[in-house]
């Protein structure tokens, strides 16, 4: 293995560097362009402007294609469960259990389609209330659940990764009033 010599040149002996400055020319000092140079610059400008306009149009067209492809993908995922709902509506049955099973199968297909798109249904029932994830529609006194816990769900919430598509609409438990709190309220009313 070769050992490299270290350069031990003192700073005082370092070679001098040339001072390179750029001379700025004011517009008044510039040489005027010849007509062929002016024409050449004008044509370059027109070509550049046309290229940029074509680029802008291509980008707009591509955005439209991506949007249309996204819609097609989403709809093709949702159409089978929608077809099942139409069949269920046309099917004449008096058996509620069979009808319920059919609807549950359609819901499972929709949940599967949403999961395939990266959408997750939030299940807040029994969890602590989080105002970042849920909308509190009502507060209800409860001795069966911990205070500030979700005890009922009006509408499920959905998220896509960390983005909340729709917060869940919930009812939140509140502690039952204690006798001491009742006495304080009575004392405040009497005053």
Domains of the chain: which residue ranges? 34-117, 119-178
The residue assigned the tokens 């058996």 is: 95
User: Does the pLDDT value for residue 116 go beyond 70?
Assistant: yes
pLDDT band at 22 (very low <50, low <70, confident <90, very high): low
What is the arithmetic mean of pLDDT over 19-33? 70
CB 91 within 8 A of CB 102: yes
User: Does the pLDDT value for residue 7 go beyond 60?
Assistant: no
Question: How is the beta sheet containing 157-160 ordered, strand by strand?
Answer: 119-122, 157-160, 163-166
* CATH code of the domain made up of 34-117: 3.90.20.20
pLDDT value, residue 17: 61
CA 13 to mean position of chain CA atoms: 61
Domain 119-178 top-level CATH class: mainly beta
CB 110 within 8 A of CB 80: no
* Mean of all residue pLDDT scores within the chain: 82
The residue assigned the tokens 């009313």 is: 189
Question: How many other C-beta atoms lie within 10 A of the C-beta of residue 38?
Answer: 11
User: Does the pLDDT value for residue 65 go beyond 60?
Assistant: yes
Q: Name which of 78-87, 115-124, 165-174 the model is least confident about.
A: 78-87
Distance CA 26, CA 129 (A): 68
> Please, which residues have CB within 8 angstroms of residue 139's CB and are 6 or more apart in sequence?
171, 172, 173, 174
Residue spans of beta strands (DSSP E) within the chain: 119-122, 134-141, 150-155, 157-160, 163-166, 168-174
User: Does the pLDDT value for residue 136 go beyond 90?
Assistant: yes
pLDDT value, residue 171: 94
- Minimal CA–CA distance to 88: which of 72, 106, 114, 73? 106
- Tell me whether domains 34-117 and 119-178 share a fold: no
């Amino acid at each position: 293995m070769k050992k490299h010599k270290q350069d031990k040149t003192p700073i005082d002996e370092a070679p001098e560097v040339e001072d390179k400055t750029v001379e700025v020319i004011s517009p008044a000092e510039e040489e005027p362009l010849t007509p062929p140079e002016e024409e050449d610059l004008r044509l370059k400008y027109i070509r550049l402007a046309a290229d940029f306009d074509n680029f802008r149009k291509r980008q707009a067209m591509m955005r439209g294609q991506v949007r249309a492809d996204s819609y097609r993908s989403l709809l093709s995922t949702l159409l089978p469960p929608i077809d099942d709902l139409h069949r269920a509506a046309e099917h004449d049955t008096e058996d509620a259990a069979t009808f319920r099973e059919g609807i549950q199968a359609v819901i499972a297909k929709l949940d599967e389609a949403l999961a395939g798109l990266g959408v997750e249904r939030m299940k807040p029932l029994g969890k602590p209330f989080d105002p970042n994830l849920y909308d509190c529609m009502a507060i209800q006194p409860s001795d069966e659940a911990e205070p500030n816990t979700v005890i009922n769900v009006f509408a499920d919430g959905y998220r896509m990764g960390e983005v909340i598509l729709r917060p869940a609409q919930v009812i939140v438990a509140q502690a039952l009033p204690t006798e001491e709190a009742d006495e304080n309220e009575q004392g405040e009313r009497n005053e």
